[in-house]
Amino acid sequence: MYTLGEFIIENRDRFLYSTEELLRLFSSIKLAAKAINKEVNKAGLTEKIIGSSGITNIQGENQQKLDDFAHRVFIESFKSRNVVCGIASEESKDFIVIVEKGEKENPKYIVLIDPLDGSSNIDVNVSIGTIFSVYIRRTPIPMDLTIEDFLQKGNKQILAGYIIYGSSTILVYTTGNGVHGFTLDPSIGTFYLSHPNLRFPEIERIYSINEGNYAKFPNGIKKFIKYCQEKKENRPYTARYIGSLVGDFHRNMIQGGIYIYPKTEHSPEGKLRLLYECNPMAFLTEQAGGKASDGKKRILDIKPLNLHQRTPFICGPVRMVSKLEEFMDR
């Protein structure tokens, strides 16, 4: 059984950039994931780590203590490996320069991250996750990083993935050569290949959407929901929604389902963030043989305008996403 490092080396000829740097990127990600996994797994035991930090984050959301912990752990882990020059995080208003100008090494990777997505589920023991997205800086070294280094289209990603902290801890990633999942053996702290070449199955089974917002959905979304519930062909589909993007996505990619977070009257641009939620999940979706759009256009082709911009987000099997887009067009 391959470890993550062995798998990367075995497939180094399929990765366009430096394998040594990719190994160092993953070394940072694995270290941080194990530290967060340790805290998530005992969240119910220590008052100090569950619940609200009392801080309202940039999103205007009540920051959970574990959100802040996860944010800090990733920053420190990337700093210590000297492979990342800048980070944009859901928990930070502006991007963070990791390597100051003039320092001896000039790493070229940019990371955008949601350190702990779905954190409102921490106190109720529902799976949560980290989502990451990696680019190569555009501003030439040794110039200062600019916001443009972070506002690249999703089709420029060189690496994207997530860690799901659930019944087991699984790291799932793509570098553009398929989607692969690695399960953590916590007894020795090693990630082993457990889900090679993940792809959406041919059979569609599930639709995931917060139907509590039904009254506020666009008509095309309402029609698609009714389509999912019709007794016809291989429908009705099963409704599954846990309010944690990583958990809903991981289940749907394995079992065959569509995830929908559309715009609503309350969230006219949608709720999910383009840069560190939708772009990485869209890259994974396409690499798993699926389709990801905002209901009309491909997510990976959207030109970002600011770090925390939101977008309507639909991802899943091509046929299901295309059928939803048909309803949106009518």
11 counts as binding ligand P6P under rule CB under 6 A:
no
State which of residues 36, 84, 245, 260 lies at the interface with ligand P6P (CB under 6 A): 245
Give the largest CA-CA distance in the chain: 65
Using CB under 6 A, which of the segments 48-56, 174-182, 238-246, 280-288 binds ligand P6P? 238-246
Q: Is the dihedral of CA 81, 83, 86, 91 positive or negative?
A: negative
Give residues 100-119 in contact with ligand P6P (rule: CB under 6 A).
117-118
Q: How far is CA 320 from CA 122, 214, 260, in A?
A: 31, 19, 11
- The residue count for binding ligand P6P (CB under 6 A) is 10
H-type alpha helices, the chain: 4-10, 19-40, 65-81, 219-229, 245-255, 279-287, 318-329
Asked if residues 149 and 107 have their Cβ atoms less than 8 Å apart, the reply is no
34 counts as binding ligand P6P under rule CB under 6 A:
no
Give residues 199-228 in contact with ligand P6P (rule: CB under 6 A).
210
262 counts as binding ligand P6P under rule CB under 6 A:
no
Write out the two tokens for 151.
């506002």
**Least distance (Å) from ligand P6P to the CB of residue 245?**
3
State which of residues 28, 57, 77, 244 lies at the interface with ligand P6P (CB under 6 A): 244
CA dihedral 52, 54, 64, 87 (to 10 degrees): -170
31 counts as binding ligand P6P under rule CB under 6 A:
no
H-type alpha helices, 176-273: 219-229, 245-255
State which of residues 205, 271, 291, 310 lies at the interface with ligand P6P (CB under 6 A): 271
90 counts as binding ligand P6P under rule CB under 6 A:
no
**Least distance (Å) from ligand P6P to the CB of residue 205?**
19
Asked if residues 200 and 288 have their Cβ atoms less than 8 Å apart, the reply is yes
Contact footprint for ligand P6P (CB under 6 A): 117-118, 120, 210, 243-245, 248, 271-272
